[in-house]
């Protein structure tokens, strides 16, 4: 079923207010009154809904009249969705794992954010690192674009909330925040002692953070800074993964280990 996201304040009683943009999307899909769709409140609850009275018709014999109504309905205004069933979101993992991803050039960040959302990341935080090849001149514009990718991905993969995409101004700030998780994992290509599997076997309960590097990897002093901040430096194995692959590989392993995959 097609999926929409609203704010919790838009859910009231047995109905939900859809935005003008979502109303236009409903119109473009030409949904029949009997067809159901999902609306998520972004807080872990989802609602099975159908169109409100504004687009309801008597039956298929009146399809032509409905088509005319749909052609004008919803332009510049919101719409009402009637709630048929309320339930916990089935697409949200039982753990909170935030992905800290070093800035990368081209469409690599698009891929990394998309796959992180698909695999259940609680949030995505971008940060600069010494070996980053490219740093956007307009970070706010970059983050806004990636947030739209996160929204569309959340709709496609059945998430119950849209992970927030944000950016840190420095490597040190990102590490300080990431290290506050109960299992803070720093993925370093030169680490040979501690594997991700071994780190996960030590875990019982709590939150996760994963930090992955740019195209050229982390500088040794950056890895040392992460360790000093309390992060666990771990390896993803003997093969060097691309910067857009590492977050997906780490998240997949964590979700599998915790029964979320």
Residues 107 and 174 in one domain: yes
* Count of structural domains, the chain: 2
Compute the C-alpha angle 222/198/102, nearest 5°: 30
Q: Round to whole Å and give the CA distance between 219 and 213.
A: 9
Nearest to 168 by CA among 221, 218, 199, 211: 211
Residues 83 and 103 in one domain: no
Residues 57 and 110 in one domain: no
Residues 245 and 122 in one domain: yes
Taking only the tens place, the pLDDT of each residue in 79-126 is 888 999 999 988 899 999 999 999 999 899 999 999 999 999 999 999
Residues 72 and 157 in one domain: no
Average pLDDT over residues 31-51: 85
pLDDT band at 67 (very low <50, low <70, confident <90, very high): very low
Taking only the tens place, the pLDDT of each residue in 133-183 is 988 889 999 999 999 999 999 999 989 999 999 999 999 999 999 999 999
Residues 236 and 139 in one domain: yes
Any idea what the CATH number is for the domain that residue 234 is in?
Answer: 3.40.1280.10
Last residue of a domain, one of 62, 88, 114: 88
Average pLDDT over residues 205-225: 94
pLDDT surpassing 80 at residue 205 = no
Average pLDDT over residues 27-31: 80
Any idea what the CATH number is for the domain that residue 77 is in?
Answer: 2.40.240.20
* DSSP 8-state symbol, 230: T
Nearest to 44 by CA among 120, 156, 124, 143: 120
Dihedrals φ, ψ of 111, to 5°?
-65, -45
pLDDT at 9: 87
Taking only the tens place, the pLDDT of each residue in 77-91 is 678 889 999 999 888
Residues 37 and 15 in one domain: yes
pLDDT at 137: 87
Residues 247 and 126 in one domain: yes
**Poorest-pLDDT segment among 11-15, 160-164, 217-221, 232-236:** 11-15
Residues 143 and 217 in one domain: yes
Residues 51 and 128 in one domain: no
Domain that holds residue 202: 97-257
Residues 129 and 248 in one domain: yes
pLDDT surpassing 50 at residue 52 = yes
pLDDT at 60: 37
Q: What is the mean pLDDT of the chain?
A: 87
Last residue of a domain, one of 39, 56, 88: 88
Last residue of a domain, one of 88, 105, 138: 88
Which has more confidence, 61 or 37? 37
What is the spatial order of strands in the sheet that 232-234 belongs to? 164-167, 123-127, 97-102, 208-212, 183-187, 232-234
Residues 47 and 73 in one domain: yes
pLDDT at 53: 54
């Amino acid at each position: 079923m097609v999926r929409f996201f609203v704010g919790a304040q838009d859910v009231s009683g047995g109905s939900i207010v859809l935005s003008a943009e979502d109303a236009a999307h409903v119109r473009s899909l030409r949904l029949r009154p009997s067809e159901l769709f999902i609306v998520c409140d972004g807080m872990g609850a989802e609602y099975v809904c159908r169109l409100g009275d504004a687009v309801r018709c008597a039956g298929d014999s009146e399809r032509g009249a409905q088509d005319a109504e749909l052609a004008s309905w919803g332009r510049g205004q919101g719409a009402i969705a009637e709630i048929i069933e309320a339930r916990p979101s089935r697409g949200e993992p039982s753990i909170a794992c935030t992905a800290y991803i070093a800035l990368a050039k081209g469409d690599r960040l698009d891929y990394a954010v998309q796959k992180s959302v698909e695999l259940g990341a609680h949030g995505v935080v971008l940060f600069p690192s010494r070996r980053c090849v490219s740093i956007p001149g307009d970070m706010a514009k970059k983050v806004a674009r990636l947030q739209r990718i996160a929204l569309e991905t959340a709709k496609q993969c059945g998430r119950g909330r849209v992970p927030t995409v944000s950016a840190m101004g420095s490597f040190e700030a990102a590490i300080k925040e990431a290290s506050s998780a109960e299992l803070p994992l720093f993925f370093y290509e030169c680490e040979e002692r501690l594997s991700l599997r071994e780190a996960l076997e030590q875990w019982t309960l709590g939150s996760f953070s994963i930090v992955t590097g740019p195209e050229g990897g982390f500088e040794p002093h950056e890895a040392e800074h992460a360790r000093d901040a309390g992060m666990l430096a771990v390896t993803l194995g003997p093969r060097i993964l691309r910067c857009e692959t590492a977050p997906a590989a780490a998240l997949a392993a964590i979700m599998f280990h915790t029964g979320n995959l």
